[in-house]
Chains A and B, each alone.
Chain A
Amino acid sequence: MTLATDGMTNDSAATGAFAGVSGGEVRDYVALLKPRVMSLVVFTALVGMVVAPGTVHPVIAFASLLAIAVGAGASGCLNMWWDADIDAVMTRTRARPIPAGRVPAGEALTFGLVLSALSVFVLGVVANWFAAGFLAFTIFFYAVVYSMWLKRWTAQNIVIGGAAGAFPPMIGEAVVTGTVGWPTFALFAIIFLWTPPHFWALALLKSGDYARAGVPMLPNVAGPDATRRQILLYTLILAPAALAPVALGTGGLAYLLVAVITGAAMVILAFNVHRHREGEAAARAAQQLFAFSILYLFLLFATLLAEHAFGLYAAVPGIGR
């Protein structure tokens, strides 16, 4: 039997609130890995692999993606372990395995640490140690820099912490080439700039939740109007930045078309969020931006994947490879 207080320092664990015999179902341990985040990480890392200058054996690519996925899951698990006290008071997260009492916190910590070490080791052996080191750094950045340090300290938490979610394309390139270059740095920049408008749109809708949990999200610290201004500013930078792959020759005509159309839609939705500040219209605008931002990122990366993996790449005149 493992006690939940093993190695814990945050409040919920210190009081032993989630202590107990392990009684979780297998699906609870799967939930600790944040499967939806994992799928996004796998997808963006795969795109990083296909746009990288070089090739990799499909078996090595598959095994590397598996290691990256497990690494992402491990960091999600460590995040849930650390944030169990916050999750317990937020409606969106209180049914998670640790606050719901289905998995003892100490077990989640062990699970996260073991999977972190395993994923880094497997990626190092299967691909190369630069990629493995990058994965280890990403896990550290998400679990320690974002979760333990930034999240409860500054309203810029998701701006800086967003880097952790933006690294996977670069890890994907590192698997193929053993290094990183501009094409995947551009993909990093897109995800990095996409994160604030995406999460602040959600924070506008869930500001009561974050206030109850004491998390200094921008709407709670600077107010909803300042948040709307920041969302618009980031979106105005994001839309043109999403054209960087075209300038670098990574994105072709299809990507250019998708980036321009969906980028314009993002800007319109961000303007809507900025304009509608009261009542139902304000909530609807934030909801629409949040939902579309997911589709936006998916379409950008799916187009790059289609261009490179399925031979749909057609160079933009005067720019192409």
Chain B
Amino acid sequence: MSEEKKGVVLTAEEKRRQRARSVAIAWALAALCVLFFVVTIAKLGPGVMNRPL
């Protein structure tokens, strides 16, 4: 039963690959944020930043 509680145990190599995949996903999400920001500026123009608070 204690074996079952441990679940899937990753080897060191599997952990390294999992981390590499996570980092890649993080970079992709960051790139998507930058892309949406730049596209917003391109579509609306820089004037969108110039407004009273």
From the candidates B10, B14, B24, B42, name the one contacting A26 in the complex (CB within 8 A): B24
Q: Which residues of A contact B18 (CB under 8 A)?
A: 22
CB nearest to B31 among chain A residues = A66
Contact across chains for A57 and B42 when beta carbons are under 8 A apart: yes
Query: Does A129 touch B at the CB level, under 8 Å?
Result: no
CB nearest to B35 among chain A residues = A63
Asked if A23 meets B14 with Cβ closer than 8 Å, knowing A29-B21, A60-B43, the reply is yes
From the candidates B8, B10, B20, name the one contacting A25 in the complex (CB within 8 A): B20
Contact across chains for A59 and B42 when beta carbons are under 8 A apart: yes
Contact across chains for A21 and B21 when beta carbons are under 8 A apart: no
CB nearest to B10 among chain A residues = A21
- State A279–B21 Cα separation when bound (angstroms): 47
Q: Which residues of A contact B17 (CB under 8 A)?
A: 23-25
Contact across chains for A59 and B39 when beta carbons are under 8 A apart: yes
Interface members, chain B 28-46 (any A CB < 8 Å): 32, 35, 38-39, 41-43
CB distance from B43 to the nearest CB of A (A): 7
- State A122–B33 Cα separation when bound (angstroms): 12
CB distance from B6 to the nearest CB of A (A): 13
Q: Interface code A107-133, partner B: CB below 8 Å = 1, 0 otherwise?
A: 000000000000000100110000000
Q: Which residues of B contact A126 (CB under 8 A)?
A: 39
Q: Which of B10, B21, B39 has the most CB of A within 10 A?
A: B39
CB distance from A27 to the nearest CB of B (A): 9
Interface residues on A, range: 10 to 19
Q: Which of B8, B14, B21, B32 has the most CB of A within 10 A?
A: B21
CB distance from A57 to the nearest CB of B (A): 5
Contact across chains for A66 and B14 when beta carbons are under 8 A apart: no
Q: Interface code A54-86, partner B: CB below 8 Å = 1, 0 otherwise?
A: 000101100100100000000000000000000
What is the interface size of chain B, counting residues whose CB is below 8 A from a CB of the partner? 16
Contact across chains for B38 and A59 when beta carbons are under 8 A apart: yes
Q: Which residues of B contact A1 (CB under 8 A)?
A: 8
From the candidates A22, A23, A25, A60, name the one contacting B42 in the complex (CB within 8 A): A60
Q: Which residues of A contact B20 (CB under 8 A)?
A: 25-26
Q: Which of A57, A59, A125 has the most CB of B within 10 A?
A: A59
CB distance from B51 to the nearest CB of A (A): 21
Contact across chains for A24 and B38 when beta carbons are under 8 A apart: no
Contact across chains for A63 and B39 when beta carbons are under 8 A apart: yes
Q: Which residues of A contact B10 (CB under 8 A)?
A: 21
- State A255–B14 Cα separation when bound (angstroms): 52
- State A1–B18 Cα separation when bound (angstroms): 12
- State A125–B38 Cα separation when bound (angstroms): 13
Asked if A21 meets B14 with Cβ closer than 8 Å, knowing A1-B8, A26-B20, A60-B43, the reply is yes
CB distance from B35 to the nearest CB of A (A): 6
- State A103–B32 Cα separation when bound (angstroms): 24
Q: Which residues of A contact B41 (CB under 8 A)?
A: 59
CB nearest to B7 among chain A residues = A1
- State A24–B14 Cα separation when bound (angstroms): 8
New contact pairs (8) apart from A23-B14, A63-B35, A63-B38, CB-CB < 8 Å: A22-B18, A22-B21, A23-B17, A24-B21, A25-B17, A60-B42, A122-B32, A122-B35
| Complex A-B, nearest 8 residue pairs according to Cβ-Cβ distance, in ascending order | A59-B42, A26-B24, A57-B42, A63-B39, A1-B8, A26-B20, A126-B39, A23-B14
11 contacts between A and B (CB under 8 A): A1-B8, A22-B21, A23-B14, A24-B21, A26-B21, A29-B24, A57-B43, A59-B42, A60-B43, A63-B35, A122-B32
